[in-house]
Amino acid sequence: MLAFVTLKSGSDAPLLFTTLDVKHVTDFFTSGFFQHLRLYQYCLTKEQAHLALQEQVMLETAELGFPPLSEAMTEAERDDWQASRAAAAAAAEAERRARAEAEEAARLAAVEAARIAAEEEAKKRKPQTLEEAVEFAVRDRLAAERKAIEEEHAKREKELLDRIAQLEAARAKMAGDGGNKSRGSIQG
């Protein structure tokens, strides 16, 4: 190595390595590189067993699918679209409520019809014991009293409504006459 780095005769080029540099390089090769030379030779000349593993990994990518901006809605179109959606939702809710109310009315009508049928069946049946006879008599008497009270109530309500109509007509007549008549002239 010294032969390569020493100056040739007639050459004035500077030295590339000093003697100390050459000593360091020589020490490195003898203590490190050449120490493992047989290992390098073995690894580079012998066929090695290769274990090749392959793993396929599937990556899912989200497709956002946004339309281009040229196809975007204007703010007015978006407002109209939202209003139509809200109207459709309100109509669907109203339809659902109407259907629920109709179902509830049908259910109540069926319950009432069953109650009336049960009462009619009970009226047709003859009492088997004294308690049932008393119960039937009380029930019939209560039904008759209830009917009489309802009729009386309807009669009084009609009379009162007629009286109110007469008073309102008299008041309107007084207002039309300019209030010339005294209050005592209202007949009732």
The model carries a pTM of 0.32
Residue with tokens 């003859």: 126
Helix (H) or strand (E) holding 21: helix 19-28
Q: What is the mean pLDDT of the chain?
A: 84
3-state helix, strand, coil in the chain (%, to 5): 70, 0, 30
**pLDDT for residue 167:** 94
User: How do residues 10-35 score in pLDDT, each as one tens digit?
Assistant: 555 566 778 888 898 888 888 887 78
User: How do residues 74-86 score in pLDDT, each as one tens digit?
Assistant: 899 999 999 999 9
User: How do residues 122-156 score in pLDDT, each as one tens digit?
Assistant: 777 787 888 888 888 898 899 899 999 999 999 99
User: At 136, phi and psi to the nearest 5?
Assistant: -65, -40
Residue with tokens 């959606």: 85
